Structure 1
Amino acid sequence: MLRRLYDWTLSLAGSPRAVWALAAISFAESSFFPVPPDVLLVPMALARPERSFLYAGICTISSVIGGLFGYAIGALLYDTLGHWIIQAYGYGQNVEAFREAYASYGEWIILIKGLTPIPYKLVTITSGFAGYNLLWFTILSIITRGARFYILAVLLRRFGAPAKEILERNLGLAAVLLVATVVGGFAAVRFIF
Structure 2
Amino acid sequence: MVDVIVNFLKEFGAWGMFFHSFVDAVIFPIPAFFTQLSLSMIDPSNAIWLATVGFIGCLLGTPIGYWIGKVAGRSFLGKILKKNWVDSATKMFNRHGEAAILLGAFTPIPFKIFTILSGATDYSLWKLLGYAAIGRAAKFYVVGVLFYVYGTLADKVIDQYFTLIFLGIFIVLASGWFLIRKLRTKKDNQIKAGA
Q: Quick check: TM above 0.5? A: yes
Kindly report which structure 2 residues correspond to 1:143-154, keeping only aligned pairs within 5 A, or say none: 143-154=134-145
1:126-137 correspondence runs (5 A): 126-137=117-128
Provide the C-alpha distance between the structure 1 equivalents of 2:96 and 2:9, rounded to a whole number of angstroms.
Answer: 41
- The verdict on how the C-alpha distance between 1:163 and 1:134 changes in structure 2, with shifts beyond 3 A counting, is closer
Report the counterpart of residue 41 of structure 1 in structure 2: 36
In structure 2, what residue type is equivalent to 1:150?
Answer: Y
Contact 2:30 2:110 in 1 (8 A): no
Matched, 1:51 2:46: yes
Question: Secondary structure of 2:13's match?
Answer: helix
Work out the CA distance in 1 between the residues paired with 2:94 and 2:9: 44
The equivalent of 1:104 in structure 2 is 95
Partner secondary structure for residue 132 of structure 1: coil
User: Counterparts of 1:123 and 1:48 in 2: how far apart (Å)?
Assistant: 31
- Taking a change above 3 Å as real, the CA distance of residues 23 and 46 of structure 1, as seen in their structure-2 partners, is same
Match of 1:63, as an amino acid? Answer: C
Percent identity between the aligned chains? 26
Q: 1:31 aligns with which of 17, 26, 29?
A: 26
Question: 1:143 Cα deviation (Å)?
Answer: 1.0
**Structure number with larger C-alpha Rg:** 2
Structure 1 segments, 4+ long, off by >6 Å, are none
Asked if the contact 1:78/1:129 (under 8 Å) is kept, the reply is yes
RMSD: 3.3
Query: Given the superposition, is the C-alpha separation of residues 46 and 72 from structure 1 closer, same or farther in structure 2, using an over 3 Å criterion?
Result: same
Give the distance between the partners of 1:122 and 1:139, measured in 2 at CA.
17
Matched, 1:113 2:104: yes
How far 1:159 sits from its partner (Å)? 2.5
Cα distance in 2, alignment partners of residues 130 and 12 from structure 1 = 32
| Mapped partners of 1:147, 1:102: distance in 2 | 22
TM-superposed deviation, 1:65 = 1.4
Letter in 2 for 1:159: Y
Gaps of 5+ in 2: 160-195
Cα distance, 1:67–1:12 mapped onto 2, change above 3 Å: closer
Count matched residues. Answer: 156
Q: Deviations over 1:108-138 (max 9, x none)?
A: 1111111112221111001011111111111
TM-score w.r.t. the length of structure 2 is: 0.67
Whether the 8 Å contact between 1:98 and 1:126 is mirrored in structure 2 is: no
The gaps in structure 1 that reach 5 residues or longer are: 168-173, 175-193
Q: Matched residues in 1 for 2:154 and 2:38: separation? A: 10
CA distance in 1, matches of 2:9, 2:116: 31
